[in-house]
Amino acid sequence: MKLMRIGVDLAKNVFQIHGVDRHEQPVWRQRLPRDRWLQTVLDKIEPGCEIGMESCSGAHHWARQLQARGFQVRLIAPQFVKPYVKSNKNDANDAEAICEAMSRPSMRFVAVKTIEQQDIQATHRIRAGLIEQRTAKANQIRGLIAEYGLIAPKELLMLRRAIPCWLEDADNGLTVRFRRLLNGLWDDLRALDERVSELDGEIAAIAASEPAAVRLQQLRGVGPMIATALIAAIGDASQFANGRQLAASLGLTPKQHSSGGKDRLLGISKRGDAYLRTLMIHGARSALRTAKSKDDRLSQWAVRLAERSHPNVAAIALANKTARMAWAMLRNGTDYQPDRAAA
């Protein structure tokens, strides 16, 4: 019995295995505990056997463990596995679906992230979480202060200036107890500001030390935040055949709804990494604001596009073009070439 391909359904404590031979017949179905599954697989399979997993929590770690032992690992996005689930959803059916999906010639696989990429990604995720907490804290302060007849400013900068004034003003109607509570919320808000600033410095340091990130910052609208997020998400971009595939994976290309020979393009698909897509669009908006003062081909192209269409359309188009240029720079290891930017 020689296993040609196995699908592994990952979980927190138990992993389900489904293996097939060269005749596509299932020859191994087993449920293994977390602490024994890797060694059991290594004892069972031979070199040349492909291993497939859903690209979910922990998948990149296990993929690196298997790659280090010489095996080829295929990670598949969960939405591409789902159509191959034949009946009710359970671990055994999921493992079989993974094994089936990875055999398809046209299947799209997810590149295995390096440990350095995961470090950068973790930094971005923690920062994004802290910003959400900070926004929630600011909104809580606004809601509570309104119950005492005070109007809080919408901008976070102005809110930071207003809170000490409220605490010091003895005639604004705030009770002693609420002042104590508000002071605690003010401490929480400042602590979140400090954590976000620390992570901003961490990201800036990564962007300055990583050669690929340094090159990416030559692009208009790309700073340390976007450059490091791109490195974390796509690495050297080798999993994409061209720049359009990268733009499509970020949801920056139009959604298509065509039938009967009639082509119909809708708004952007919004597939893939929403966090990176948002950063790319914000960066494009920033570049558009200063494009009129630039005389390079890309800036002039963006200005002309913004004049004949909605600014949001121009920003998305510029983000799409930036993603394509980023792919070329990462794939080829080259610097930004302004003369070819709007070609």
- List per-residue pLDDT tens for the chain, 343 residues long: 689 999 999 999 999 999 999 899 999 999 999 999 999 999 988 888 999 999 998 999 999 999 999 999 999 999 999 999 988 889 999 999 999 999 999 999 999 999 999 999 999 999 999 999 999 999 999 999 999 999 999 999 999 999 999 999 989 989 999 999 999 999 999 999 999 999 999 999 999 999 999 999 999 999 999 999 999 999 888 889 899 999 999 999 887 767 777 776 677 888 888 999 999 999 999 999 998 888 888 888 899 999 998 889 999 999 999 999 999 999 998 999 887 776 5
**CA 257 to chain CA centroid, nearest Å:** 26
- What separation, in Å, do the N-terminal and C-terminal C-alpha atoms of the chain show? 56
Core vs surface per residue 134-172: b (16+ CB within 10 A) or e: beebbeebbeebeeeebebeeeeeebeebbeebeeeeee
Identify any residues that bridge with 28 across adjacent strands, giving them in sequence order: 19
State how far the Cα of 233 lies from the Cα of 123, in Å rounded to an integer.
Answer: 12
